[in-house]
C-alpha cells in the first residue's frame, strides 16, 4: 500500500543472498566429509593390495590369485562400510548434541514472573502450574494479599521501566478500583495505557511498587486482538477442548457484542469476536486495550449500550472493567476516569462530575482533533498479532500430497532453476564415479588372470591405484554438487516465492495462516537447500552405480542376463509400493508439521492473552497432543524403511542363490575372477538397491516442494494492477482530492461485494 514492495523485496532477497554465502563454509565441510569418508572405502582395497604385493615381493611369490584378491576385497569392504557410515553419522550426532545444548540453554532462561499479589484462595491454582511444591511456600509469602481487601485492583507506587537507560513507561502509579466499576484510562498515544493494562495482568515487571488483584485470571483483549485458529464458536468458548454448557449465555453474549445477526460476515473483523470471547469467559475482571477504537460508530453505540451502559450485560453482572482508549466518548458511563500524562504518570483521576476531569478530557479531545496524537503503538509495547480467518481460499492452502500429472514439468522447473550446464556437470560426476568403480573391479579381475604370473605386478598395481584415485576424486566431486545446485536453485526458487507473496492480493494475505507462509520460507526452502540436493546426489550416484554393477554381473556371468528383466520388474513393483506408501506418510508428516508450527506460533503470539485467562494448562495439553500427532507418521515411516530393507535383502539373497546355481551349472564357462566379481557385486547389491529405492522416493517427495512453489507462483493471482493500467491524469495533482466513483470492492472473489 505504501509502494515499498520493490525495496522490501530487494532487502529480503539480499538477506537470502547472505544466507547462501554463509552456507558455503558448510558446503566445504561436506566436501571434506565426502573426501574423508570415501577415501577409507575406496583406497583401503588399493592400500591392502599394495601391502600384499610388498610382502609377496619379499617372499618371492609375485602372483596374485583370484581367491585371495576378491576375498580380501570383500573383507575390506565389510569393514570399511560401517566405518564410513560412522564418519558420515558423526556430524549429525554433533548437530544433535548442539541442539540439545541450545534447548537446555533455552530451558534455563528465567521464567516469567508475575509480580502481582493475589488472594489466598487463588494463589495455589496459579502456582501449581509454574512451580514445584518446594517453591510454593516461598512464593505464597510474597504474593498473598490481605483477605479483607475490598478492591478488585490496587496499584501502589508502581513504576515500570523497559530498559536500564529508558524513561519510565509508568511512573509512581497509585490506583484503586472497586469491584463492578467501569474504569476509563485515557491519554495520548505513548502515555502508557497499554503498559498499565499489561501491569494489571502481571505481564510487566515492576521496577518498584506493587499490584494486587482480586482474581488471578483476567479476561484480556489486546488492541490487536489475538484469536486462535478454529470456528467462531470454538474461539468464543475459550481454549482448546472447551464446549458450550449454557447455550442461553452464549446467545446473550452474541447479542451484547452485536454478533447475533452478523455472525457469518463478522462486521469489523476480529474486534467484536475477541470481545465476545472475553465476555463469554465470565471472569470478574476484564481489561480492554483500545478494543473499541476500531468499531464503526453505529456498532460502537450498540456494543457500549449492551455491554457497558447502565443496563449493559457487564454492569448487570457487576464485572470490573478497565478500558484504555484515546477517545472520550465513554466518559459519562465510567465510574472512574484515569488520565495519563506524557511522562507515564497519572495526570488526573476522578469522576465525570468533577470539573477538573471534564477540563482534562476536553483538552485530550482537542489534541486529538488537532492531530497531535502520533499513530503508533502505545508506549512501545510490541503488538503481536496474526490475522485469524477461516480460509475458504484455496490459494492459501498447501498441496500436501503433490501428485502432478505432468511430472516432466516439475523436473524441468527444477532443472531450469539449477541451470542445464550445472546439471550436465553433475551427471558427468555421477557417470565418472560409476565408471571408475566398474573399471577398478574389472582391472582386478584382469590382474588375477594375468598369464605372466606376476611379472607385470607393478603395472597392474599402478593402474589399479590410478583407477582407485579416480574413483575417490569422483566421489569427492559428489560433495561439490551442493556448490553447483544450491546457490542457483535456492536463489531462483526463493525469489519466485517472495515475488508471489509480495504481489499477492489482500484476500490471500488474510485467508492464509502465518504458519503456512513461514513453512514456505522455512521448511520448504530448507528442503531445497539441504535435502533435495542430497537426495538428487544419492539418486544419481546410486543409479549409475547400479548400472555399472549390472554390467559387471552380466560380464562375469552372461546367464545372469536372463534374471535381469525379472529383477527389474520386482524392484520396480517394490519401488512403486514404497513410493506410494512413503508419499502418503510423508504428506501426513508435512501436514502435521504445518499444524504443529501453526499451533506453536499461535501459542507464542497469544501468550499474554493465554496467561491472562489462565489457559496455560489447556494450551500446553493441546501442543503436546499436536506434537504426539506429528511424531506418529515419523515412526510409521521408519517402520516402512525397515520393511524395505528386509525385502531388498531377501531379493538379493535370491539373486545370490541364482548366481551360485549358474556357477555350479556352468563352471567350465567361468573363470575364478568372474566368480569373484559376481559375488562381490552381489555383496554390495542390497546396499545399492536400498539406497536407490529410498533416495528415489525421497527425491520424489522432495520434488513436491518444487511442485508447490510452481503451483503457488502460477495460481496465486497478483493484486489488481488497476492504478498501473490507468495512469493518473497530469491535472490531478492540482486539486489534491479523492474522488471515488462507481467503486465495487470485495476481499474474496465470492460474488458478495463489501
User: Does residue 144 have a pLDDT over 60?
Assistant: no
How large is the average pLDDT for residues 219-247?
Answer: 82
Report residue 102's pLDDT band, with 50, 70 and 90 as the boundaries: very high
Sequence ranges of the chain with CATH classification 1.20.1560.10: 5-107+404-715
Report CA-CA distances (Å) from 589 to 229, 395, 530, 637: 20, 21, 18, 9
* Per-residue model confidence (pLDDT) at position 380: 46
22-31, 380-389, 496-505, 575-584 — most confident range = 575-584
DSSP string, 457-489: HHHHHHHHHHHHHHHHHHHHHHTTHHHHHHHHH
User: What confidence tier does 105 reach under pLDDT thresholds 50, 70, 90?
Assistant: very high
Neighbours of 230 (CB within 10 A): 14
- b/e map of 261-300 (b: 16 or more CB within 10 Å)? eeeeeeebbbbbbbbbbbbbbebbbbbbbbbbebbeeebb
For the ranges 212-226, 425-439, 446-460, which has the lowest average pLDDT?
Answer: 446-460
Q: Are strands 336-340 and 170-177 parallel, antiparallel or unpaired?
A: unpaired
Sorting pLDDT into bands at 50, 70 and 90, what band is 368?
low
Instruction: Point out the least confidently predicted range of 267-271, 330-334, 699-703.
Output: 267-271
More confident residue, 702 or 318: 318
Mean pLDDT across the stretch 228-250?
81
| C-alpha cell of residue 125 | 491454582
More confident residue, 120 or 389: 120
User: What grid cell was written down for 721?
Assistant: 494492477
Q: What backbone phi and psi angles, to 5 degrees, belong to 218? A: -130, 135
Distance in angstroms (rounded) separating the CA atoms of residues 97 and 90? 11
Helix (H) or strand (E) holding 221: strand 219-221
Percent of the chain past pLDDT 90, that is, above it, reads 6
CATH class of the domain whose range is 148-380: alpha beta
Residue 491 pLDDT exceeds 90? no
CA distance 436 to 433: 5
Q: What is the pTM of this model?
A: 0.68
Residues 702, 708: Cα–Cα separation, whole Å: 10
pLDDT at residue 142, as a whole number: 41
Kindly report, as residue ranges, where domains of CATH 3.40.50.300 are found in the chain: 148-380
Residue pointed to by grid coordinates 456498532 = 299
> Is 240 a residue whose pLDDT tops 80?
yes
Between 49 and 389, the higher pLDDT residue = 49
Query: Assign residue 487 a region: left if phi > 0, alpha if psi is -120 to 50, beta otherwise?
Result: alpha
Helix axes of 420-448 and 532-556: crossing angle, nearest 10 degrees: 30
pLDDT of 717 reads 64
> Residue 348 phi/psi, 5° resolution?
-150, 155
**Structure confidence at residue 663 (pLDDT):** 75
Model pLDDT, residue 269: 43
The stretch 228-238 carries a mean pLDDT of: 82
Question: How far is Cα of residue 325 from the mean position of the Cα atoms in its chain?
Answer: 36
Closest by CA to 16, choosing from 491, 485, 488, is 491
Q: What region does 85 belong to: left with phi over 0, alpha with psi -120 to 50, or beta? A: alpha
pLDDT reported for residue 750? 53
Higher pLDDT, 48 or 519: 48
Instruction: Give the residue ranges of DSSP H helices in 60-162.
Output: 66-107, 120-130, 133-143
d(CA 663, CA 675): 7
- The answer on pLDDT for 399 being more than 80 is no
244 three-state secondary structure: coil
pLDDT band at 134, cuts 50/70/90?
Answer: very low
Q: What is the mean pLDDT of the chain?
A: 77
- Please classify residue 177 by burial: count the beta carbons closer than 10 Å to its beta carbon, then call 0-12 exposed, 13-18 middle and 19+ buried: buried
Quote the pLDDT of residue 120. Answer: 59
pLDDT higher for 172 or 146? 172
Which tens digits make up the pLDDT trace of 647-662? 888 888 888 888 788 7
Largest CA distance in the chain: 120
User: Which helix (H) or strand (E) element contains residue 414?
Assistant: helix 407-418
Most confident of 430-434, 458-462, 517-521, 670-674: 430-434
Q: What is the mean pLDDT of residues 351-372?
A: 75
pLDDT tens per residue, range 35-66: 887 888 788 888 887 887 777 766 666 566 66
Looking at domain 5-107+404-715, its CATH architecture is Up-down Bundle (1.20)
**Distance in angstroms (rounded) separating the CA atoms of residues 77 and 437:** 13
Phi/psi for 509 (5° steps) reads: -60, -45
**Per-residue pLDDT at 264:** 52
In 3D space, the residue among 488, 528, 529, 481 whose CA is nearest the CA of residue 709 turns out to be 528
Q: Which of 413, 481, 404, 496 is nearest to 706 (CA)?
A: 413
Question: In the numeric block, which cell numbers belong to residue 61?
Answer: 611369490
pLDDT average, residue stretch 693-721: 77
Position 430 pLDDT exceeds 50: yes
Give the Cβ contact number of residue 67 at 10 Å: 12
Phi/psi region, residue 325 (left: phi>0; alpha: psi -120 to 50; beta: rest), is beta
Residue keyed to cell 486462535: 228
Question: Which of 114-123, 259-268, 289-298, 327-336 has the weakest average pLDDT?
Answer: 259-268
Residue 628 pLDDT: 92
Q: Which of 163-177, 199-213, 444-458, 726-740 has the highest mean pLDDT?
A: 199-213
390 with 449: CB under 8 angstroms? no
Amino acid at each position: 500500500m505504501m509502494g515499498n514492495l520493490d525495496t522490501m523485496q530487494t532487502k529480503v532477497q539480499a538477506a537470502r543472498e547472505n544466507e547462501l554465502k554463509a552456507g558455503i563454509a558448510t558446503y566445504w565441510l561436506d566436501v571434506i566429509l565426502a573426501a574423508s569418508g570415501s577415501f577409507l572405502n575406496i583406497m583401503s582395497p588399493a592400500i591392502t593390495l599394495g601391502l600384499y604385493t610388498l610382502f609377496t615381493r619379499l617372499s618371492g611369490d609375485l602372483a596374485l590369485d583370484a581367491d585371495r584378491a576378491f576375498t580380501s576385497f570383500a573383507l575390506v569392504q565389510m569393514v570399511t562400510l560401517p566405518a564410513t557410515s560412522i564418519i558420515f553419522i558423526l556430524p549429525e550426532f554433533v548437530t544433535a548434541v548442539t541442539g540439545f545444548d541450545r534447548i537446555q540453554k533455552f530451558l534455563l532462561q528465567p521464567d516469567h514472573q508475575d509480580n502481582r499479589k493475589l488472594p489466598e484462595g487463588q494463589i495455589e491454582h496459579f502456582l501449581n502450574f509454574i512451580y514445584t511444591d518446594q517453591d510454593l511456600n516461598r512464593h505464597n509469602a510474597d504474593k498473598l494479599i490481605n483477605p479483607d481487601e475490598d478492591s478488585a485492583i490496587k496499584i501502589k507506587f508502581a513504576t515500570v521501566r523497559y530498559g536500564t537507560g529508558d524513561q519510565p513507561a509508568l511512573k509512581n502509579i497509585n490506583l484503586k478500583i472497586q469491584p463492578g466499576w467501569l474504569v476509563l484510562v485515557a491519554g495520548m498515544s505513548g502515555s502508557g495505557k497499554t503498559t498499565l493494562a499489561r501491569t494489571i495482568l502481571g505481564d510487566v515487571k515492576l521496577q518498584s511498587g506493587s499490584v494486587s488483584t482480586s482474581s488471578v485470571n483476567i479476561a484480556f483483549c489486546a488492541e490487536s486482538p489475538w484469536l486462535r485458529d478454529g470456528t467462531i464458536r470454538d474461539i468464543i468458548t475459550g481454549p482448546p477442548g472447551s464446549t458450550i454448557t449454557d447455550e442461553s449465555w452464549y446467545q446473550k453474549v452474541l447479542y451484547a457484542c452485536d454478533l447475533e445477526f452478523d455472525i457469518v460476515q463478522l462486521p469489523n473483523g476480529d474486534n467484536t469476536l475477541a470481545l465476545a470471547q472475553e465476555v463469554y469467559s465470565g471472569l470478574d475482571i476484564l481489561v480492554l486495550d483500545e478494543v473499541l477504537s476500531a468499531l464503526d460508530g453505529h456498532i460502537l453505540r450498540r456494543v457500549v449500550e449492551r455491554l457497558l451502559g447502565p443496563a449493559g450485560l457487564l454492569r448487570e453482572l457487576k464485572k470490573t472493567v478497565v478500558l484504555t482508549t484515546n477517545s472520550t466518548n465513554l466518559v459519562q458511563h465510567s465510574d472512574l476516569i484515569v488520565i495519563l500524562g506524557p511522562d507515564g504518570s497519572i495526570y488526573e483521576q476522578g469522576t465525570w462530575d468533577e470539573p477538573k476531569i471534564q477540563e482534562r478530557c476536553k483538552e485530550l479531545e482537542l489534541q486529538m482533533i488537532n492531530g497531535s496524537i502520533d499513530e503508533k503503538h502505545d508506549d512501545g509495547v510490541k503488538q503481536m498479532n496474526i490475522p485469524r480467518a477461516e480460509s475458504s481460499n484455496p490459494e492459501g492452502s498447501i498441496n500436501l500430497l503433490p501428485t502432478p500429472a505432468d511430472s516432466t514439468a516439475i523436473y524441468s522447473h527444477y532443472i531450469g532453476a539449477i541451470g542445464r550446464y550445472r546439471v550436465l556437470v553433475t551427471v558427468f560426476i555421477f557417470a565418472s564415479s560409476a565408471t571408475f568403480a566398474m573399471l577398478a573391479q574389472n582391472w582386478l579381475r584382469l590382474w588375477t588372470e594375468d598369464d605372466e604370473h606376476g611379472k607385470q605386478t607393478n603395472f597392474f598395481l599402478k593402474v589399479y591405484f590410478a583407477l582407485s584415485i579416480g574413483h575417490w576424486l569422483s566421489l569427492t566431486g559428489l560433495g561439490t554438487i551442493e556448490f553447483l545446485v544450491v546457490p542457483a536453485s535456492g536463489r531462483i526458487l526463493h525469489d519466485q516465492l517472495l515475488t508471489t507473496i509480495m504481489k499477492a492480493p489482500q484476500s490471500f494475505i488474510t485467508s492464509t495462516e502465518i504458519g503456512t507462509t513461514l513453512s514456505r520460507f522455512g521448511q520448504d526452502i530448507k528442503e531445497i537447500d539441504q535435502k533435495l540436493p542430497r537426495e538428487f546426489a544419492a539418486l544419481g550416484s546410486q543409479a549409475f552405480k547400479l548400472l555399472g554393477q549390472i554390467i559387471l554381473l552380466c560380464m562375469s556371468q552372461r546367464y545372469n542376463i536372463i534374471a535381469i528383466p525379472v529383477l527389474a520388474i520386482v524392484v520396480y513393483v517394490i519401488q512403486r509400493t514404497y513410493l506410494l506408501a512413503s508419499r502418503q506418510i510423508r504428506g501426513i508428516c508435512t501436514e502435521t508439521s504445518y499444524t504443529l508450527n501453526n499451533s506453536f506460533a499461535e501459542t507464542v503470539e497469544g501468550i499474554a492473552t493465554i496467561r491472562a485467562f489462565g489457559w496455560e494448562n489447556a494450551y500446553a495439553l493441546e501442543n503436546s497432543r499436536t506434537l504426539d500427532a506429528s511424531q506418529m507418521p515419523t515412526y510409521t515411516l521408519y517402520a516402512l524403511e525397515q520393511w524395505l530393507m528386509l525385502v531388498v535383502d531377501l531379493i538379493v539373497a535370491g539373486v545370490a542363490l541364482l548366481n551360485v546355481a549358474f556357477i555350479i551349472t556352468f563352471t567350465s564357462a567361468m573363470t575364478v575372477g568372474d566368480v569373484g566379481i559376481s559375488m562381490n557385486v552381489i555383496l554390495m547389491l542390497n546396499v545399492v538397491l536400498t539406497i536407490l529405492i529410498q533416495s528415489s522416493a525421497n527425491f520424489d517427495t522432495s520434488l513436491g516442494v518444487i511442485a508447490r512453489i510452481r503451483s503457488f507462483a502460477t495460481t496465486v493471482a497478483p493484486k489488481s494492477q488497476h492504478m498501473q493500467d490507468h495512469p493518473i491524469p497530469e491535472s490531478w495533482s492540482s486539486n489534491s482530492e479523492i474522488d471515488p466513483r462507481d467503486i465495487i470492492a470485495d476481499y474474496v472473489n465470492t460474488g458478495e461485494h463489501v
